[in-house]
Chains A and B, each alone.
Chain A
Amino acid sequence: MNKKPTTYWRTNLKYLAILLTIWFVVSFLFGIILAETLNQYQIGGFPLGFWFAHQGSIYAFVILIFVYVYLMNKLDKKFNVDEV
């Protein structure tokens, strides 16, 4: 009991660090800070930086949450702290 929650919690924090880094990169970095550089590239009719600010970041946000849910449900089971 003493050891288990610590590893569980640390794994959770690791997931959070990775996923929140992606969260920051797709919005603040690609959508704002690097948008001008990225606008030199096109996907379809979109300049890339503009696409991240108006479309791509939102798709990424949705995916991030579902990935987190999947990872945590697995982790909860592994450490036997899941709910019935």
Chain B
Amino acid sequence: MSAQTWTYILVGITFLIYIIIAIITRAGSTKEFYVAGGGVNPIANGMATAADWMSAASFLSMSGLIAFMGYSGGQYLMGWTGGYVLLALLLAPYLRKFGKFTVPDFIGERYYSKNARLIALICALFISFTYVVGQMKGVGVAFARFLNVPFDTGVLIGIGIVFFYAVLGGMKGITYTQVAQFCVLIFAFTVPAIFISLQMTGNPVPQLGLGSRGTDGVYLLERLNQLSVDLGFDAYTSIDRSNLINMFFITGALMFGTAGLPHVIVRFFTVPRVKDARISAGWALLFIAILYTTAPAVAVFARTNIIDTLSNSSYATVPQWFTNWENTGLLSFEDKNNDGKIQYVADENINELTIDRDIIVLANPEIANLPAWVIGLVVAGGLAAALSTAAGLLLVISTSISHDLLKNYLKPDISEKGELLAARVSIAVAVVAAGLAGLNPPGFVAQVVALAFGLAASSFFPAIILGIFDKRMNREGAMSGMIIGILFTASYIIYFKPQLGGPGLPENFWWGISPEGIGTLGMIFNFIIALIVSRLTEAPPKEVMELTERIRTPRGSQVSSVQTH
């Protein structure tokens, strides 16, 4: 059977599974819709969190990015995992004890202010929406390339599937679908990696294969370093000294941003007890780590394979996959010196090969000559990653509108049934809006992911941490901290992002910090301002102090969640 047929079969089967799960687990109450009834098993929640977290970008783009960045790519590996330590130790257990549904809930009550809730709400909406548009685009691209349907049809199929299970099941349906999606995506990512690791090093564990000797008896990394240097690139494992400060700040912004992202935090409201919230962050990171420790191995295998197969080889005899990808325009060869051979080198003037980083994971099985069904599996995995993240984000958007805006701001007397209906309607609208935006992605979308992480790091993260660990923190302190943090971070990013119309030049970066890393500095400013202002203004009311005291101990979490219902 051809790769095409396998792709149809595997994508078809996985979609059928998602739909069946959605029908079995549909939600009957707002509590089921927002937080899956608060009764999800911690291991299942860990898998759902992992699927929620690992987007099309983690699955399809990250290995390629690392393959071409080498050592510096570690900022994504550390940045997108280290935040879970902060979540487990500093946020998840306390927010679970607090026992409401959303991040704006916490900000609004802890800082006894409707305006604080509104600021949090707008941030949550902005962050989630920019994210989800990218996911929809990812779904469209994956469909278009592998099922031979037009891009628009691909996005529409994606909207249809997410619409069905998100509107029907809310958080409950989404959570159990995500468990299935996690299994699909992790299987799809590791299977090709295991095959290739075996081929190249004889070791079936990619994480160990990465540090092993290749078939020629030389360590894989040593060989790749040598190949890279010979072609004029930096050695793969060498450290870019001039970039270290920037790398430090980017790693920080991604970590603190992760811990402040609303669609990640809300997952810890879905488990029954405080201790379940702690352990479920551990399971989530363990499941995420399976992919994140395999990705750097995939990167090295792919980079080595590409150089081995293509460098200095004759264009007339390139393998079939090369021609396939050439047709998509993501791989191109221009014979500058007319010798009929592929010169792949660092020097732009001599280099003849251009490779889009996004094709690495998808092309890897073909490059390594793996069987056709593996290619179909990778496509199903990429779609699972994109759909699961999109669904989680859409839920945050719908909850923000129906719960935070409607129930707590505009129309507090709304009935349980009315709120559930509003939640369904707003998720339906959000799915369609995100799909439409995905069809015509505004040019800035790819660029604003930096903004989403920067804002989460510089607004939510300090406000929540201080709300738990500093009893004296008051409304004035938290709000001025959030506003300064957001304004500083957003202005720096917009100023230095030409794609957003900013006039700033890289040589004027503060201490060489690029817009991706500035959230760390914004976060530090937020902390300082909040601490100073809170000490100069009146202490928070007694009942808020007591609330802070109460969320610090686990006992009573079930009682408090019943009361809110």
Residues B554 and A81 in contact, CB atoms below 8 Å apart: yes
Residues A35 and B239 in contact, CB atoms below 8 Å apart: yes
Partner of B82, one of A57, A66, A84: A57
Segment touching A, from B205-213, B344-352, B504-512:
B205-213
State whether the Cβ of B407 lies closer than 8 Å to any Cβ in chain A: no
Produce 1/0 per residue, B80-117, CB < 8 A to A: 01101110111001000000000000000000000000
B335 to chain A, nearest CB (A): 35
With A53-B71, A69-B279 as known contacts, state yes or no: A16 contacts B90, CB within 8 Å: yes
Residues A50 and B244 in contact, CB atoms below 8 Å apart: no
Main secondary structure of the interface of B (DSSP, over half): helix
- A19 contact set on B, CB distance < 8 A: 85, 89
Residues B212 and A44 in contact, CB atoms below 8 Å apart: yes
Residues B221 and A45 in contact, CB atoms below 8 Å apart: yes
B556 to chain A, nearest CB (A): 8
State whether the Cβ of B77 lies closer than 8 Å to any Cβ in chain A: yes
- B211 contact set on A, CB distance < 8 A: 43-46, 51
Closest to B553 in A: A81
Query: Which chain B residues (285-306) contact chain A, with CB distance < 8 Å?
Result: 285-286, 289, 292-293, 296
State whether the Cβ of B282 lies closer than 8 Å to any Cβ in chain A: yes
State whether the Cβ of B251 lies closer than 8 Å to any Cβ in chain A: yes
- B285 contact set on A, CB distance < 8 A: 61-62, 65
Give the CA-CA distance A15 to B252 in the complex, in Å.
21
- B252 contact set on A, CB distance < 8 A: 28
User: How many B residues, CB 8 Å from partner?
Assistant: 55
With A36-B239, A39-B239, A69-B275 as known contacts, state yes or no: A58 contacts B293, CB within 8 Å: yes
Closest to A43 in B: B211
Residues A69 and B282 in contact, CB atoms below 8 Å apart: yes
Main secondary structure of the interface of A (DSSP, over half): helix
Query: Which chain A residues (44-74) contact chain B, with CB distance < 8 Å?
Result: 44-47, 49-51, 53-55, 57-59, 61-62, 64-66, 68-69, 72-73
With A45-B220, A65-B84, A65-B285 as known contacts, state yes or no: A54 contacts B553, CB within 8 Å: no
Give the CA-CA distance A65 to B220 in the complex, in Å.
32
Residues A65 and B281 in contact, CB atoms below 8 Å apart: yes
Give the CA-CA distance A82 to B554 in the complex, in Å.
6
With A5-B553, A31-B78, A58-B292 as known contacts, state yes or no: A45 contacts B89, CB within 8 Å: no
A20 to chain B, nearest CB (A): 7
Residues A45 and B222 in contact, CB atoms below 8 Å apart: yes
Closest to B549 in A: A5
Residues B81 and A58 in contact, CB atoms below 8 Å apart: yes
With A27-B78, A31-B78, A33-B248 as known contacts, state yes or no: A50 contacts B237, CB within 8 Å: yes
A-B CB contacts (within 8 Å), total count: 146
- B219 contact set on A, CB distance < 8 A: 44-45
State whether the Cβ of B557 lies closer than 8 Å to any Cβ in chain A: yes
Give the CA-CA distance A81 to B220 in the complex, in Å.
52
Query: Which chain B residues (188-220) contact chain A, with CB distance < 8 Å?
Result: 207-208, 210-213, 219-220
Residues B275 and A54 in contact, CB atoms below 8 Å apart: no
Produce 1/0 per residue, B515-556, CB < 8 A to A: 000000000000000000000000000000000010011111
Give the CA-CA distance A27 to B238 in the complex, in Å.
17
Partner of A32, one of B93, B238, B251, B552: B251
State whether the Cβ of B273 lies closer than 8 Å to any Cβ in chain A: yes
Closest to A36 in B: B239
State whether the Cβ of B74 lies closer than 8 Å to any Cβ in chain A: yes
- A62 contact set on B, CB distance < 8 A: 282, 285-286, 289
With A53-B77, A65-B88, A69-B275 as known contacts, state yes or no: A45 contacts B213, CB within 8 Å: yes
Closest to B558 in A: A83
Give the CA-CA distance A66 to B251 in the complex, in Å.
22
B225 to chain A, nearest CB (A): 9
- B239 contact set on A, CB distance < 8 A: 35-36, 39, 49
Residues A55 and B293 in contact, CB atoms below 8 Å apart: yes
State whether the Cβ of B565 lies closer than 8 Å to any Cβ in chain A: no
Closest to B42 in A: A69
Partner of A65, one of B208, B282, B552: B282
Closest to B77 in A: A54
Produce 1/0 per residue, A5-49, CB < 8 A to B: 100110010001001100100011001110110010001111101
Closest to A64 in B: B85
Give the CA-CA distance A73 to B274 in the complex, in Å.
10
A25 to chain B, nearest CB (A): 12
Produce 1/0 per residue, B384-428, CB < 8 A to A: 000000000000000000000000000000000000000000000
Closest to B245 in A: A32
Residues B554 and A76 in contact, CB atoms below 8 Å apart: yes
- A49 contact set on B, CB distance < 8 A: 71, 239
Give the CA-CA distance A12 to B213 in the complex, in Å.
45
- B89 contact set on A, CB distance < 8 A: 16, 19-20, 64-65, 68
B58 to chain A, nearest CB (A): 13
Given contacts A32-B251, A76-B553, A83-B558, 10 further A-B pairs with CB under 8 A are A53-B77, A54-B77, A57-B82, A58-B81, A62-B285, A64-B89, A68-B278, A69-B279, A72-B275, A76-B554
Ranked 10 nearest A-B pairs via Cβ: A53-B74, A45-B219, A65-B282, A44-B211, A45-B211, A54-B296, A50-B237, A81-B553, A65-B88, A46-B211
Write the residues of chain B forming the contact surface with A, with a CB cutoff of 8 angstroms.
Answer: 66, 71, 73-74, 77-78, 81-82, 84-86, 88-90, 93, 207-208, 210-213, 219-222, 237-239, 241, 244, 247-248, 251-252, 273-275, 278-279, 281-282, 285-286, 289, 292-293, 296, 549, 552-558
Write the residues of chain A forming the contact surface with B, with a CB cutoff of 8 angstroms.
Answer: 5, 8-9, 12, 16, 19-20, 23, 27-28, 31-33, 35-36, 39, 43-47, 49-51, 53-55, 57-59, 61-62, 64-66, 68-69, 72-73, 76, 79-84
Mind listing 6 A-B residue pairs with CB under 8 Å?
A31-B251, A32-B247, A46-B237, A53-B77, A61-B81, A80-B555
